[in-house]
Amino acid sequence: AETTPWWKNATIYQIYPASFKDSNGDGIGDIPGILSQLDYIQSLGVDAIWLCPMYDSPQYDMGYDISNYEEVYAPYGTMADVEALIAACHERGLRILLDLVINHTSYEHAWFKESRSSKANPKRDWYIWKPPRYDANGQRRPPNNWRSFFSGSAWEWDEVTQEYYLHLFAVQQPDLNWENKATREAIYESAMEFWLRKGIDGFRVDTVNMYSKDPSFRDAQVLDSSIEWQAAPHLFCNGPRIHEYVREMGQILHKYNAMTVGELPHTPQVADVLSYVSAREQQLSMVFQFDIVDLGFSRSQKYDTVPRNWTLPELKQRVRSTQHLMEGTDGWSTAFLENHDQARSVSRWGCTDTPELWARSAKLLAMLVASLSGTLYVYQGQEIGMVNAPAEWPVSEYKDVESINHYKFVRESTADDSVALERAKKALDHLARDHARLPMQWDGTANGGFSSDGAKPWMRVHDNYQLLNVKRQTLDPDSVLSFWRKMLRVRRAYPQVFAQGSFVDTDSEHGSLFVFEKIGDEQRLVVALNFTAERQAVDLETHLGSGSHKILIKNCEAGSLHELQPYEGRVYIVA
Ligand code: TEU
Ligand code: CA
């Protein structure tokens, strides 16, 4: 008989090492800090942890710029600490995934140092080097108009060898040249097998669809003529050789029985997603689709946006398309609302106007995401309803390269125009990656218990830590944390409907209520969620039908089948 792999019904807890728990008072979270909280992590009822990069790195992009795949970033701990963490997880029956960042390395990686040293170096071709173009005035220009994810041109000029190198992300993150077989083999050995041999259970694969670029390196279409550099994802995502590469990786992973969750931005078509996760392809176990978290971003520019620039019908449509990927196919996917690149979900999709609505809407979002099919991911702090950094904080509190570069770009391109800068700050307050990177709030003591008293955390601790923290919520049976624990227990008890059921939306155009069903072989769920701060009329009687039903979880005392309270949510099971 076919056995379900462990990861299908699993919930995976994502840890951002710098911001989880600082064990030695230097203000930076670390591996011993994670080890000290394994009881807590396990108490949530999760099956595995995913650790964001903890490799050696100059930290221009928080460790997504790796200078040595086979060393641990010293402030996080030692190799022995990581080995101890792997062993401690396994002793408890928890699995552990590491982050695999192989589209690019740090510019301080030994490979890049060699590559940039001369055109004749044997590793020259390990990165993507191109000669300049010249404009009508004889001015040197980059090889094309591609924009980097972190603002500006995606090309950097190198004085020594008089060529440009490609960097889709920061200047300090040169893209590897996957066309070169020796490069691929070195990546597989150093970044993958080195860690697989240590017994990890799999990888979260960073930017997995960007290894193969359009070989023409042609200019991207001009979407916004006011900006010099254009978004070009269609020219470097899902390129012509991508499946050859991912299949090659899959063969190695297969030897170790390792699972993978690949990051799949800029891939809205279900057929394209399926080409990575269809079981018979043996490429990736599952992917992170961006349909939901990218809702409201403009095509040319993430921060060209205003708060609450989404509607419930749009959100439902994104949920539906990701859920349908798994129906009637042999593909698998994920359910998530947060990660280290996203603003806090309760600030984005819920309501933080009052403490009551904050708690209720955080629970509502828990019911939404934990009722969806696919492997469930919970990001540290989500389980206590952590919120975005206060808008009153000055822009200098933003530390992320994406935020800093965007603000700088606006400042320089508008000559310090205060209206433009205010708009840029608002966009950051709403969507910056920094919000997810504030220190974890453990208790009401100094630094929220993240770091010892007197230490200076690398990012400022949220002002609300005395009210919003793990310790306080552990003692309160009605807290967001207690709710998440119950939610995960319920999900685990009925995998056929929660993790594997088919998703049926019921009134996709309704602008206030999200009522959907999950159909399993013997049972079905009815999930009713009110996404507004007003009471809403509903007809649950019709949805529940004549079979026997009971409430599995709810965030409000009321029980009318005809009305939902502000941000009320309920999950029924119907036999
Ligand atoms: O992110 C890759 C990615 O696709 C980006 O578009 C990301 O969604 C964007 O930064 C959001 O604004 C991954 C990592 O998760 C991210 O932290 C890294 O900065 C990036 O790769 C480069 O390694
Ligand atoms: Ca530390």
Per DSSP, 140 falls in state E
Is the model's pLDDT at 572 over the cut of 80?
Answer: yes
pLDDT at residue 304, as a whole number = 78
Using pLDDT thresholds of 50, 70 and 90, give the confidence band for residue 301: confident
pLDDT at residue 2, as a whole number = 62
* 230-273 pLDDT tens trace: 999 999 999 999 999 999 999 999 999 999 999 999 999 999 99
Q: Which residues contact 275 (CB under 8 A, 6 or more apart)?
A: 243, 281, 283
One of 61, 99, 263, 402 is an active-site residue; which one?
263
Q: Of 127, 198, 214, 152, which Cα lies nearest the Cα of 409?
A: 152
Using pLDDT thresholds of 50, 70 and 90, give the confidence band for residue 378: very high
Three-point CA angle 474, 465, 33, nearest 5°: 70
pLDDT at residue 558, as a whole number = 75
Per DSSP, 508 falls in state T
Is the model's pLDDT at 85 over the cut of 60?
Answer: yes
Q: In whole angstroms, how large is the CA radius of gyration of the chain?
A: 24
- What is the arithmetic mean of pLDDT over 400-420? 96
* 10-35 pLDDT tens trace: 999 999 999 999 999 999 999 999 99
* 43-80 pLDDT tens trace: 999 999 999 999 999 999 999 999 999 999 999 999 99
Question: For 302-305, which contacts have Cβ atoms below 8 Å and span 24 or more sequence positions?
Answer: 302/431, 303/406, 303/424, 303/427, 303/428, 303/431, 304/427, 305/427, 305/430, 305/431
Instruction: Say what percent of the chain tops pLDDT 70.
Output: 99
Distance 133 CA to ligand 2 centre (A): 47
Residue 206 a catalytic site member: yes
* 124-135 pLDDT tens trace: 999 999 999 999
Amino acid (one-letter) located at 518: K
- What is the arithmetic mean of pLDDT over 140-169? 97
* 513-567 pLDDT tens trace: 999 999 999 999 999 999 999 999 999 999 999 889 999 999 999 789 999 999 9
Is the model's pLDDT at 465 over the cut of 50?
Answer: yes
| Least trusted range by pLDDT, from 218-232, 300-314, 479-493 | 300-314
Q: Provide ipTM, 2 decimals.
A: 0.97
Distance 397 CA to ligand 1 centre (A): 20
pLDDT at residue 300, as a whole number = 63
| Pocket flag, ligand 1, residue 204 (CB < 6 Å) | no
Q: Which domains does the chain have, with CATH numbers?
A: 11-103+181-389+440-482 (3.20.20.80), 110-166 (3.90.400.10), 390-437 (no CATH), 502-574 (2.60.40.1180)
Is the model's pLDDT at 1 over the cut of 50?
Answer: no
| Pocket flag, ligand 1, residue 101 (CB < 6 Å) | yes
Is the model's pLDDT at 483 over the cut of 70?
Answer: yes
536-537 and 563-564: which strand pairing? antiparallel
Is the model's pLDDT at 112 over the cut of 70?
Answer: yes
- What is the arithmetic mean of pLDDT over 396-410? 97
pLDDT at residue 389, as a whole number = 98
One of 206, 338, 341, 517 is an active-site residue; which one?
206
- What is the arithmetic mean of pLDDT over 320-333? 95
The Cα 554–Cα 533 span in angstroms is 17
| Least trusted range by pLDDT, from 56-65, 143-152, 192-201, 222-231 | 222-231
> Of all atoms in ligand 1, which is nearest to the CA of residue 207?
2
The Cα 167–Cα 237 span in angstroms is 14
Q: Which residues contact 337 (CB under 8 A, 6 or more apart)?
A: 292, 293, 345, 349, 365, 368, 369, 382
Three-point CA angle 398, 297, 402, nearest 5°: 25
Please name every residue paired with 51 in a beta bridge, in sequence order, or none if there are none: 15, 98
Is the model's pLDDT at 332 over the cut of 90?
Answer: yes
| Pocket flag, ligand 1, residue 55 (CB < 6 Å) | no
Q: Which residues contact 129 (CB under 8 A, 6 or more apart)?
A: 115, 119, 158, 161, 163, 164, 165
User: Torsions phi, psi of 559, nearest 5?
Assistant: -140, 15
Query: pTM for the whole thing?
Result: 0.98
pLDDT at residue 60, as a whole number = 98
Instruction: Say what percent of the chain tops pLDDT 90.
Output: 94
